[in-house]
Amino acid sequence: MKVGFIGTGSMGSLLIDTFLRSGALEPCDVLASNRSQGKLLELQKLHPGLNVCASNCETASGSDIVFLCVKPLQFKALADEIAPCLRSEQIVVSITSPVQLQHLESVLPSKIAKIIPSITHSVRSGTSLCIFGSRLNKKDRLSLLQLFSCISVPAEIPESHTRIASDFSSCGPAFLSYFLERWIEAAIEATGIDEALVSRLAGEMLLGTGRLLTEGSFTPRELQERVAVRGGITAEALNHLHTSLEGVFERLITTTHDKYDEDVLRLDALFGRSGIAQGPLDR
């Protein structure tokens, strides 16, 4: 199976590197094209045998599965460029959440899927969000699920939940890292604890908490109740968080959904579709 990647920026290169390191793909099975030839040559140097293509059409025509790893507003121009090079039996995968299945199905002859990856895949962890178009059959879906199971835990979701699910699986590492960064900075300032030590404690704590939630059968509420003894230090601090963070997460969700809806409307215009009158929490 030949797998192509158009766009080898941050996420495109991460997927290539992780698929290859995991053994899911061999370098000879990967085709890649990018506006910057330098990035392609760096990837080829890291993974000898990787096929560097001279054009996006070369990548598209030579692949069984083609990943489109470009920015949302670049999709229409890219779709117009590669449409003549594609065949109906190929699978085209968008990794960009605002690009709708209907956008690509309206202009490309191939089978269409959307899979939202996460930076956590670089350590073969996290969830990949899978949304399948109407043209994919059971075998096609299984091929994509098997590929992503080598680097993540694939989860099939409805397209209407793309944004909210991405808030957790894709944006979540940045949100939690920000929380930890501020907490670590405050700890250093207040106590003088070594930064490397407290950063390691925070990372191991986060890893263990994730395992408790995924393997230990705890819900977030149950975990809080188990740790926070009534009248104890943890319970006192949780009361402070409850007050201080009032409304924060609602505003976070509104912010990500507003930006998502803005991008979708701009894509609707590019792909020649009328605006979709849905509220920010309906996508």
- What does the pLDDT read at residue 277? 35
Residue tagged 């505003």 (tokens): 251
- What does the pLDDT read at residue 207? 96
Q: In what order do the strands lie in the sheet with 111-116?
A: 51-52, 30-33, 3-6, 65-68, 91-94, 111-116, 127-132, 153-156
Residue 114, SS3? Answer: strand
- Report which secondary-structure segment, H or E, holds 32: strand 30-33
Per-residue pLDDT of the chain (283 residues; tens, 9 = 90+): 999 999 999 999 999 999 999 999 999 999 999 988 888 989 999 999 999 999 999 999 999 999 999 999 999 999 999 999 999 999 999 999 999 999 999 999 999 999 999 999 999 999 999 999 999 999 999 999 999 999 999 999 999 999 999 999 999 999 999 999 999 999 999 999 999 999 999 999 999 999 999 999 999 999 999 999 999 999 999 999 999 999 999 999 999 999 999 999 999 999 996 434 344 444 4
Structure tokens of 24?
């899911």
pTM for this entry: 0.92
Distance separating alpha carbons of residues 25 and 18, to the nearest angstrom:
9
Helix, strand, coil content of the chain in percent (nearest 5): 55, 10, 30
DSSP state of 278: -
Kindly report the CA angle at 82 between 114 and 57, in degrees rounded to 5?
A: 115
